[in-house]
Structure 1
Amino acid sequence: MKDRNFCTIYLTRHGETEWNEKKLIQGHSDIPLNKKGELQAKQLGKELEDVHFDAVFSSDLLRAKNSAEIITLENKLPIVATNALKERFFGRFEGKPLEDLVQTIGEVMTVSKEKQKRLKIYDVESDDDILLRLLPFIKKVASDYSGKNVLMVTHGGLLRAFLKFMDFKIPKYSDHPMKNTGYLIIESDGIEFKLREEKLFN
């Protein structure tokens, strides 16, 4: 049962882009949704149509903003774009095949402390750096929207960092890739986080 003092946050990944389809690393590259991504966002909007959202936030990248617009088309709520929800910066790997990152760094979905050090060598944003911008934002939103529902549209790299923070066991990418427009439902009072539901992985 939901605590009335907790904000319910739907953290969703954006719809598919051409670079997702081609398995290219996007990071901060501003790639729009493809037709499939637009359809995925429409389907998620349909799935969540009975949820009354009191606020909508998205990453300031086009693929997330477009997804948020489509998901909430019927709600007509203003969408607040923020750098706090932006994708992980992938440095010199941006625009390169995902396989290049896997061969250089290893398994994408699990990031150990040792791997974090290696990522920094390649100018890739660490989980700690992501959480420094993400957690204060989520805590403030949760505090401001106590007892209400909030939608946040973001990215796979950021969601992995957040799941690690939540001590969620992330499956191997090769076995269970993260779905475009998959989502988490979390509850927070601005201090504590509870994972209510996970619908991110195939």
Structure 2
Amino acid sequence: MSCRIYMVRHGETDWNATSRLQGHSNVPLSERGRRQAEQLGRRLAALKFDAFYASDLVRAYETARIIALHHNNQDIKTLPQLRELNFGRWEGLSINEIQGQYPEEIKQWWETPLLTRIPGGESLDEVVKRTVTAVKKIVESHGDGNVVLVSHGGVIRSVVGTVLGMDMNKYWRLRQDNACLNIIDFPEWDKGILMLFNDRSHLEIAYDCLSDAGRK
């Protein structure tokens, strides 16, 4: 008996396309993002899911809603604990803009994000604690079944990194593209097995790994 979590990063937004940090900013899907969600929905259409969960931010909820349309418009439970990291005063800025305006803060963030609080935002440690706690409760509530969970890159990295026992200061090494699929089996919470990671084979056009490496 095992709970299998299908963890999905939301589809693309206009801010993703221009490499701007979103965090808690409530940016909707772009037209491309909605197409991506539909493509993933078709991929998962033949599976049976016991529950759908999503961040309460519109880009995640909209992605989950499009996928759920292939499952009799199944209800989606939204959880604010599944929100992306709060980037505070960095939200809406590109990495280059942040480096120009907050050079010391972003240097510290890249080196030790667990311990570094973003100006007006969160530390990674706070994000890991709230997101992993939320996902653990979901796993324990669905001991034998399939669950879709639509969230954000930082949330998925936090969960995957925890399952793998990573040093979370290195969590940026876990790539998460828009509308990607990750699968984790949980025979028990502390025995999670990563089955699939950052899979985008359902999308019509694959990004070039070099040209797209900067998108967050």
Structure-2-length-normalised TM-score: 0.79
Q: Distance in 1 between matches of 2:69 and 2:96?
A: 36
Q: Deviations over 1:67-87 (max 9, x none)?
A: 000011121210001012111
Q: Distance in 2 between matches of 1:140 and 1:171?
A: 25
Aligned amino acid, residue 87 of structure 2: F
Residue 183 of structure 1 corresponds to 181
The DSSP-based 3-state class of the residue aligned with 2:127 is helix
Quickly say closer, same or farther: Cα 1:48–1:85, change in 2 above 3 A: same
* Structure 1 or 2: more strand by fraction: 1
The DSSP-based 3-state class of the residue aligned with 2:180 is strand
Residue 194 of structure 1 corresponds to 193
What is the total number of aligned residue pairs between the two structures?
191
Aligned amino acid, residue 193 of structure 2: K
Alignment of 1:6-85 (within 5 A): 6-75=2-71, 76-85=73-82
Q: Deviations over 1:142-172 (max 9, x none)?
A: 1211120000000112222233323467675
Give the conservation status (yes or no) of the 8 Å contact 2:6–2:149.
Answer: yes
Q: Distance in 1 between matches of 2:90 and 2:48?
A: 39
The DSSP-based 3-state class of the residue aligned with 2:69 is coil
Query: CA shift at 1:97, angstroms?
Result: 1.2
Structure 2 residue ranges without an equivalent (≥5): 201-208, 210-216
Q: Distance in 2 between matches of 1:88 and 1:146?
A: 28
Give the conservation status (yes or no) of the 8 Å contact 2:158–2:171.
Answer: no
* Structure 1 or 2: more helix by fraction: 2
Give the conservation status (yes or no) of the 8 Å contact 1:64–1:153.
Answer: yes
Displacement over 6 Å in runs of 4+? none
Q: Distance in 2 between matches of 1:71 and 1:25?
A: 25
Q: Distance in 1 between matches of 2:132 and 2:95?
A: 27
Q: Distance in 1 between matches of 2:192 and 2:53?
A: 18
Structure 1 residue ranges without an equivalent (≥5): none
Aligned-residue CA RMSD (Å): 2.4
1:160 aligns with 2:191: no
Query: CA shift at 1:16, angstroms?
Result: 0.5
Aligned amino acid, residue 148 of structure 1: G
Structure-1-length-normalised TM-score: 0.84
Q: Distance in 2 between matches of 1:160 and 1:135?
A: 10
Q: Distance in 1 between matches of 2:51 and 2:113?
A: 36
